[in-house]
Amino acid sequence: MTVADDELRRSLSDALIGRVVDLIRTEGLGPGDRLPSARVLAERFAVATPTIREALRQLQATGAIDIRHGSGMYVNAALQRVVIANPNPPTLDVEQLAELLDARLLVEPYLAGLAARHRSPATTAALRRSLDAAERHLAGDDTRLHEANMAFHRAVAIASGHRILHEVLDSLLAVHAGEQREILQIFDDRSRDHEEHRAVLAAVEAGSEEQARRLMRRHLEDVADVVARRMSTSE
Measured CA to CA, the distance from residue 172 to residue 166 in angstroms comes to 10
Show the domains of the chain with their CATH numbers: 3-80 (1.10.10.10), 94-234 (1.20.120.530)
pLDDT at 58: 82
Read off the pTM: 0.64
**How many other CB atoms are there within 10 angstroms of residue 182's CB atom?**
16
Mean pLDDT taken over the chain: 82
* Residues 165-219 pLDDT 10s: 998 888 777 766 666 777 777 766 788 889 999 999 999 999 999 999 999 999 9
> In the beta sheet, which residues pair with residue 75?
65
Range of 49-53, 141-145, 210-214 with top mean pLDDT: 210-214
* Residues 96-120 pLDDT 10s: 777 888 899 999 999 999 999 999 9
